């Protein structure tokens, strides 16, 4: 059976990490689910680059952090926050495509 | 310097002017804090606040938040420190905050020793540093800084560390108004002033600057208390309705940062990899194991914004199903007609853009859903070299799209539902972050002058 990351996570969010980067945080309530996602092999730089249509080298960080039961992905924006043709000044609504990743459970 | 075994810092709210319950604040005051520290800053709202020199919150909201902090803080004889005054922490924002504080002191018939710490950086110094190769962009998207882009930048601020704030505390200042500061710095300064570990000061500060955001339920609009000791720090919510859990505090280290456990600050790197989060009591969490290393050469983050264009917009709704089915095509045709009409303008003088809410207004080309909605929220936008051109082209675009006779049209009286009259909004200048660079410096203290100010004389 597969479930979407959106269903499995207790927090899934995006936000600016400064005006030139977007950071995605995914946090879980249960260690078991966190471990399942971490070991699923679905969360890769290649996958994130594909979803967000960016070069892999634009992904600055993809880090799992066990004490917080979560992982973080930070990538370069294509347009900096709040200037011409940006559509999300706070970067707060960019998480949904990430949440559509399906994880075998 | 006074040494203490532990200190308590009260953080009333996540951004000065966001508001907080007075009851939580008074709960905090009953815990006998050693300082009240409130962060006022953020770059989240984009480059406009810094570029145009305006605040994030209203004057009234800022004053309403400051009043209890000043009155109760002075009563208990503890310092009040404001980080990144006015949001962006430039000269104009600091002066704006000082004026509000003066007004409160006058109304309350109080007197206070007030210090300001300026965060503005002289452009000539930046030019010297550029020549010496000591300025570098912070990220791939950041444009190279040139003399021209620096000249076009309204003003440049740098994020200060704890050092100048400690200096102001040593001067006996009771109210300290910081220009642009690294958000945790004013908190770390209190820890350092009392001889407590800087790593716990900065880590606690990183949590406290967002006030109750790391509690459950989380919010920036409620108060939090940090107790910093030699062996760690304790985070305690000040409202009965909130709790801190091991997970909620650990997870907060993620917030708005590039990396989950490595945090770069002015002249420092905070490493939270080996932190332990222990449930202290039902509401509080005790944190140990934060590490801090000083980085050499000492680098500060510079921020600056410049005006790049002017904007006009129109907001309209579209409900007709035939139009919704072919909206992109119709918009492209209307755009083409307008551009043909203004063939006397150079193409670089303006740009036309449509945002189709309901289709892909948020995600643009990254949108994964292809379902057509029953209605669209449409934003027509014109970006131009002058406000006059933006207004003129936007008005033509609006009337063209309103009456555009697309193929298969049945609603021949008009294509758009405007929620407002007038429909066109002359939006004003658009800014961009033109400076977002690291600059190597020699002395973190002299870059940020500390000044005791008179309550009577004008701050030029």
Please report residues of A whose CB lies closer than 8 A to that of B363. Answer: 87, 93-94, 96-97
| Contact at CB, B363 and A71, closer than 8 angstroms | no
Q: Which helix (H) or strand (E) holds B444?
A: none
Q: Decide if B254 touches A, using CB distance below 8 A.
A: yes
How far is residue B183's CA from residue B186's CA, in Å, rounded to a whole number? 7
**What is the number of structural domains in chain B?**
2
How many CB pairs lie under 8 A apart between chains A and B? 139
Choose between B149 and B456: higher pLDDT. Answer: B149
Please answer whether residues B332 and B75 qualify as being in contact, where contact means their C-beta atoms are separated by less than 8 angstroms: no
Q: What is the pLDDT of residue B460?
A: 57
Q: In terms of domains, do B88 and B108 share one?
A: yes
Q: In terms of domains, do B320 and B396 share one?
A: yes
Q: Decide if B383 touches A, using CB distance below 8 A.
A: yes
Q: In terms of domains, do B173 and B285 share one?
A: yes
Q: In terms of domains, do B279 and B342 share one?
A: no
The verdict on residue B133 lying in a domain is: no
Using a pLDDT cut of 70, give the percent of chain B over it: 99
Q: What is the pLDDT of residue B459?
A: 66
Q: For residue range B217-253, list pLDDT tens digits in order.
A: 999 999 999 999 999 999 999 999 999 999 899 888 8
C-alpha pair distances (Å), A42 with each of A24, A36, A48? 15, 10, 10
Q: Decide if B142 touches A, using CB distance below 8 A.
A: yes
Which residue in A has a C-alpha nearest to residue B47's C-alpha?
Answer: A82
Q: What is the ipTM of this complex?
A: 0.93
Confidence of residue B314 (pLDDT cuts 50, 70, 90): very high
β-partners of residue B300 are B439
Q: In terms of domains, do B265 and B350 share one?
A: no
Q: What is the pLDDT of residue B169?
A: 98
From the list A17, A29, A67, the residue facing B250 with the nearest CB is A67
Q: How many CB atoms lie within 10 A of CB A26?
A: 26
Q: In terms of domains, do B195 and B328 share one?
A: no
Please report residues of A whose CB lies closer than 8 A to that of B302. Answer: none
Please report residues of A whose CB lies closer than 8 A to that of B436. Answer: 18-20
Q: Which residues of chain A have pLDDT under 50?
A: none
Q: In terms of domains, do B241 and B341 share one?
A: no
Q: Decide if B366 touches A, using CB distance below 8 A.
A: yes
pLDDT at B445 exceeding the cut of 70: yes
The verdict on residue B357 lying in a domain is: yes
pTM more than 0.90:
yes
Q: What is the pLDDT of residue B1?
A: 61
Give the closest residue to B16 by CA, choosing from B112, B108, B80: B80
Q: In terms of domains, do B376 and B428 share one?
A: yes
Measured in angstroms, the CA of B315 and the nearest CA of chain A are apart by 15
Q: Decide if B313 touches A, using CB distance below 8 A.
A: no
Q: In terms of domains, do B41 and B179 share one?
A: yes
Q: Which pair of tokens denotes residue B409?
A: 């049209």
Confidence of residue B255 (pLDDT cuts 50, 70, 90): confident
Q: Which domains does chain A have, with CATH numbers?
A: 2-81+88-104 (3.30.70)
| Contact at CB, B260 and A63, closer than 8 angstroms | yes
| Contact at CB, B251 and A70, closer than 8 angstroms | yes
The domain containing residue B414 runs over which residues?
306-434
Please report residues of A whose CB lies closer than 8 A to that of B46. Answer: 19, 81-83, 86, 89
| Contact at CB, B366 and A61, closer than 8 angstroms | no
Q: What is the CATH number of the domain that holds B313?
A: 3.30.70
Q: In terms of domains, do B289 and B421 share one?
A: no
Confidence of residue B455 (pLDDT cuts 50, 70, 90): confident
The verdict on residue B246 lying in a domain is: yes
Q: In terms of domains, do B250 and B328 share one?
A: no
Q: For residue range B78-130, list pLDDT tens digits in order.
A: 999 999 999 999 999 999 999 999 999 999 999 999 999 999 999 999 999 99
Please report residues of A whose CB lies closer than 8 A to that of B218. Answer: none
β-partners of residue B317 are B377, B417
Q: State the average pLDDT over residues B358-378.
A: 96
Q: In terms of domains, do B292 and B419 share one?
A: no
Q: Decide if B353 touches A, using CB distance below 8 A.
A: yes
How far is residue B288's CA from residue B229's CA, in Å, rounded to a whole number? 10
DSSP string, B154-220: EEEEE-B-SHHHHHHHHTT-SEEEESSB-TTHHHHHHHHHTT--HHHHHHHHHHHTTGGGGSBS--S
Measured in angstroms, the CA of A87 and the nearest CA of chain B are apart by 6
Please report residues of B whose CB lies closer than 8 A to that of A58. Answer: 140
């Amino acid at each position: 059976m597969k479930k979407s990351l959106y269903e499995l996570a207790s927090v899934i969010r995006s936000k600016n990490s400064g005006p030139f980067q977007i950071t995605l945080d995914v946090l879980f309530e249960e260690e078991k689910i966190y471990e399942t996602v971490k070991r699923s092999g679905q969360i890769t730089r290649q996958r994130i680059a594909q979803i967000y249509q960016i070069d892999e080298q634009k992904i600055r960080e993809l880090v799992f952090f066990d004490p917080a039961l979560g992982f973080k992905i930070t990538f370069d924006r294509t347009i900096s926050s709040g200037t011409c043709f940006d559509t999300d000044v706070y970067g707060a609504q960019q998480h949904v495509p990430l949440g559509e990743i399906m994880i075998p459970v | 310097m006074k040494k203490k075994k532990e200190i308590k810092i009260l953080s009333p709210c996540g951004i000065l002017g966001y508001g907080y319950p007075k009851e939580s604040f008074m709960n905090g005051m009953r815990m006998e804090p050693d300082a009240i520290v409130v962060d006022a800053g953020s770059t989240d709202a984009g480059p406009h606040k810094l570029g145009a020199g305006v605040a994030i919150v209203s004057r009234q909201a800022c004053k309403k938040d400051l009043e209890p902090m000043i009155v109760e803080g002075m009563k208990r004889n503890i310092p009040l420190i404001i980080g990144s005054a006015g949001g962006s922490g430039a000269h104009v924002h600091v002066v704006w905050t000082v004026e509000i504080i003066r007004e409160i002191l006058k109304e309350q018939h109080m007197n206070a020793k007030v210090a300001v710490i300026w965060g503005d950086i002289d452009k000539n110094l930046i030019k010297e540093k550029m020549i010496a190769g000591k300025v570098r962009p912070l990220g791939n998207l950041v444009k190279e800084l040139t003399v021209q882009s620096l000249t076009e930048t309204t003003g440049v601020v740098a994020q200060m560390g704890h050092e100048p704030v400690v200096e102001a505390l040593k001067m006996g200042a009771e109210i300290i108004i910081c220009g642009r500061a690294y958000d945790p710095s004013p908190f770390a300064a209190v820890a350092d002033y009392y001889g407590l570990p800087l790593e716990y000061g900065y880590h606690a500060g990183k949590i406290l600057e967002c006030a109750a955001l790391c509690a459950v339920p989380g919010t920036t609009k409620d108060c939090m208390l940090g107790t910093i000791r030699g062996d760690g720090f304790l985070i305690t919510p000040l409202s009965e309705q909130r709790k801190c859990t091991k997970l909620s505090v650990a997870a907060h280290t993620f917030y708005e940062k590039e990396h989950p456990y490595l945090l770069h600050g002015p002249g420092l790197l905070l490493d939270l990899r080996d932190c332990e989060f222990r449930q202290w009591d039902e509401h509080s969490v005790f944190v140990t194991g934060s590490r801090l290393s000083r980085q050499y050469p000492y680098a500060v983050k510079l921020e600056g914004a410049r005006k790049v264009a002017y904007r006009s917009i129109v907001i309209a709704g579209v409900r007709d199903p035939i139009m919704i089915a072919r909206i992109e095509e119709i918009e492209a045709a209307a755009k083409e007609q307008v551009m043909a009409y203004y063939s006397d303008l150079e193409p670089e003088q303006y740009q036309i853009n449509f945002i189709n809410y309901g289709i892909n207004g948020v995600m643009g080309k990254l949108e994964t859903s292809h379902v057509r909605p029953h209605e669209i929220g449409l934003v027509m936008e014109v970006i131009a070299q002058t406000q006059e051109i933006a207004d003129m082209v936007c008005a033509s675009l609006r009337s063209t799209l309103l009456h555009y006779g697309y193929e298969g049209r049945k609603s021949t009286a008009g294509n758009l539902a405007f929620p407002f009259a007038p429909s066109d909004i002359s939006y004003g200048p658009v800014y961009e972050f033109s400076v977002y660079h690291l600059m190597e410096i020699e002395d973190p203290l002299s870059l940020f002058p500390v000044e005791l100010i008179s309550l009577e004389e004008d701050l030029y």
